[in-house]
């Protein structure tokens, strides 16, 4: 079969890899000039680094299997992670469960309750029971009002902004299980996986396998429309007007981008696809002369801050990997309509600076070497209660046309592992 794939992120590349291996004639189009999508990397400090911070968990089995298949497993390192929480003008260590017991802003009863709730969620398997209740409601009832105000509320707002009160408890369950699965027996220090030379290598290696297996990859080639004839997909229309005829097409792009390619999509399916809202990701990468903080991942529990976390790559991976430079990500999730999303790198840095100085008062612009800004409009699907009923099927009502994206992995949270699982799944379905 001739199979076209839109998007060379990890979903599209994995599907292309599998379909090429099964003997299909695969053509993959990517609008950017490089493969990898959200997990793409760029050059910095003589090495490669993800545009958006990336690590993996021990529970990421599909990804671990693929690394072995691609002969990349020997480059994977399991490194201790240092997690912190910025609250009331102070960095609190949150690396081990003992740190939680020392967290003074909560009384001892709330701290114990928080620990018990985390253990309970890690062991509980019937996530369907969480479908009809919001995370806010469940946490207020089970972890308590104070824990919600101090910890859970700010964390949920950091990830989902104003939509935080709508988020399903089933989503939070998936997220917590994934995270605690990277601690030994659920209680030791967390270890996270990192691929030497960046996870960008994963996409690049998949692309090489696709090409050596006879598949074609066109970079800098956005698909503009799909050609539909008699209720079946006939091919992809590119920006230069060329039509590439195909027997089947898999779209691995965001739901709004997908709908814009097929205005003739029947309204019931289009309505379902169009229902999911997204938050955008805004990520600034700075190279610094010195260490910014002692932690790798610092969640910000202060709603006056214009960003939600700092991620100091070089508190995770040694600075020697980047020519001795320190690397800091300043991360944000926000609606794409936010004025911050439209700011230039210079404007945003100026806006962030006083808040970075609140975390580290010694920090100033003299510390900064390079800075880069990366944006992703459709980064995080918003997952409200009873979301399973609003997930569109992979097979669309247009024959031969398939959709496979991060809105379809619930109750798991989006990640490279889920993209790889999706890629294999859709390849099997189409083949
Ligand atoms: C800030 C941030 C941090 C993250 N951290 C982690 C992490 O620590 N660990 C982890 O496992 N995952 C992480 N992820 C998630 C992970 O990177 C993604 O879930 C995964 O890479 C998604 O892959 P995908 O192929 O489904 O989508 P994408 O990577 O979005 O790929 C879709 C591709 O389609 C292309 N495209 C769009 N429209 C068109 C068109 N019309 N024509 C042609 N091409 C088109 C896009 O350019 C893109 O390359 C993070 C993501 C973000 C944003």
Nearest atom (ligand 1) to Cα of 13 = 25
pLDDT in tens, 57-92: 999 999 999 999 999 999 999 999 999 999 999 999
Nearest atom (ligand 1) to Cα of 54 = 8
The answer, yes or no, to whether residue 184 has pLDDT greater than 70, is: no
Distances in Å between the Cα of 155 and the Cα atoms of 39, 57, 135, 170, 333 are 23, 20, 11, 16, 11
Question: Which domains are delineated in the chain?
Answer: 2-38+198-276+388-430 (3.50.50.60), 96-189 (1.10.3110)
Give me the pLDDT at residue 394, please: 98
Using a 6 Å cutoff on CB, does residue 15 contact ligand 1? Answer: no
Burial class for 74, CB neighbours closer than 10 Å (0-12, 13-18, 19+): exposed
pLDDT in tens, 196-255: 999 999 999 999 999 999 999 999 999 999 999 999 999 999 988 999 999 999 999 999
Give me the pLDDT at residue 101, please: 85
Using a 6 Å cutoff on CB, does residue 190 contact ligand 1? Answer: no
Task: Determine if the peptide bond prior to 411 is cis (ω within 30°).
Answer: yes
Using a 6 Å cutoff on CB, does residue 253 contact ligand 1? Answer: yes
Give me the pLDDT at residue 183, please: 63
Using a 6 Å cutoff on CB, does residue 7 contact ligand 1? Answer: yes
Residue 81's Cβ-side half-sphere holds a number of Cα atoms within 13 Å equal to 26
Which residue minimizes the CA distance to atom 31 of ligand 1?
9
The best mutation among 7, 58, 203 to test binding of ligand 1, ranked by most ligand atoms within 8 Å of the C-beta, falls on 7
Using a 6 Å cutoff on CB, does residue 421 contact ligand 1? Answer: no
How many other CB atoms sit within 10 Å of the CB of residue 202?
A: 26
pTM value? 0.96
The best mutation among 11, 28, 37 to test binding of ligand 1, ranked by most ligand atoms within 8 Å of the C-beta, falls on 37
The best mutation among 29, 181, 182, 253 to test binding of ligand 1, ranked by most ligand atoms within 8 Å of the C-beta, falls on 253
pLDDT-based confidence at residue 181 (cuts at 50, 70, 90) = low
Using a 6 Å cutoff on CB, does residue 144 contact ligand 1? Answer: no
Nearest atom (ligand 1) to Cα of 55 = 8
Give me the pLDDT at residue 254, please: 98
Using a 6 Å cutoff on CB, does residue 53 contact ligand 1? Answer: yes
Using a 6 Å cutoff on CB, does residue 376 contact ligand 1? Answer: yes
Beta bridge partners of 380: 279
| 39 alpha carbon – ligand 1 mean position (Å) | 6
Using a 6 Å cutoff on CB, does residue 55 contact ligand 1? Answer: yes
183 vs 400 pLDDT, higher one = 400
Nearest atom (ligand 1) to Cα of 417 = 11
Give me the pLDDT at residue 300, please: 96
Give me the pLDDT at residue 95, please: 87
| 177 alpha carbon – ligand 1 mean position (Å) | 22
The answer, yes or no, to whether residue 185 has pLDDT greater than 80, is: no
Contact indicator for 26, 5 with CB cutoff of 8 Å: yes
pLDDT in tens, 339-371: 999 999 999 999 999 999 999 999 999 999 999
| 36 alpha carbon – ligand 1 mean position (Å) | 7
Using a 6 Å cutoff on CB, does residue 252 contact ligand 1? Answer: yes
Nearest atom (ligand 1) to Cα of 11 = 25
Torsion of CA 177, 180, 182, 188, to 10 degrees: -160
């Amino acid at each position: 079969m001739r199979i076209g794939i839109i998007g060379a992120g990890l979903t599209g590349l994995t599907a292309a890899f599998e379909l090429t291996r099964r003997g299909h004639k695969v053509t993959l189009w990517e609008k950017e000039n490089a493969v990898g999508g959200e997990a793409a990397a760029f050059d910095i400090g003589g090495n490669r680094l993800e545009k958006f911070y990336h690590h993996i968990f021990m529970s990421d089995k599909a990804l671990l299997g693929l690394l072995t298949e691609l002969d990349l497993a020997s480059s994977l390192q399991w490194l201790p992670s240092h997690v912190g929480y910025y609250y009331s003008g102070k960095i609190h260590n949150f690396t081990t469960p003992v740190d939680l017991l020392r967290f003074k802003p909560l009384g001892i009863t709330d701290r114990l309750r928080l620990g018990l709730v985390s253990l309970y969620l890690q062991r509980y398997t019937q996530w369907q029971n969480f479908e009809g209740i919001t995370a806010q409601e469940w946490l207020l009832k089970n972890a308590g009002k104070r824990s919600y105000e101090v910890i859970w509320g700010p964390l949920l707002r950091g990830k989902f902004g104003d939509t935080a009160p709508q988020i399903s408890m089933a989503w939070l369950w998936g997220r917590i299980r994934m995270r605690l699965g990277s601690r030994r027996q659920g209680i030791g220090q967390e270890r996270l996986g990192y691929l030497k030379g960046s996870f960008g290598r994963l996409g690049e290696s998949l692309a090489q396998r696709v090409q050596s297996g006879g598949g074609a990859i066109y970079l800098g080639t956005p698909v503009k429309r799909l050609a539909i004839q008699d209720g079946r997909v006939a091919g992809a229309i590119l920006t230069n007007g060329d039509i590439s005829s195909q027997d089947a097409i898999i779209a691995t792009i965001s739901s709004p981008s997908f709908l814009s390619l097929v205005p003739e999509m029947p309204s019931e399916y289009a309505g379902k696809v169009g229902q999911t809202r997204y938050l955008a990701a805004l990520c600034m990468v700075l190279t610094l002369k010195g260490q910014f903080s002692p932690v790798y991942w610092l969640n910000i529990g202060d709603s006056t801050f214009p960003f939600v976390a700092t991620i100091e790559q070089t508190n995770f991976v040694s600075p020697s990997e980047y020519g001795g430079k320190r690397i800091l990500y300043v991360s944000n999730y926000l609606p794409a309509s936010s004025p911050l999303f439209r700011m230039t790198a210079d404007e945003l840095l100026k806006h962030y600076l006083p808040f970075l100085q609140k975390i580290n008062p010694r920090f100033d612009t003299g510390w900064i070497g390079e800075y880069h800004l990366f944006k992703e409009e459709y980064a995080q699907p918003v997952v409200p209660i009873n979301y399973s009923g609003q997930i569109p099927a992979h097979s669309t009502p247009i024959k031969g046309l398939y959709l496979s994206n991060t809105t379809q992995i619930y109750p798991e949270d989006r990640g490279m592992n889920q993209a790889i699982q999706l890629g294999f799944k859709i390849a099997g379905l189409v083949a």
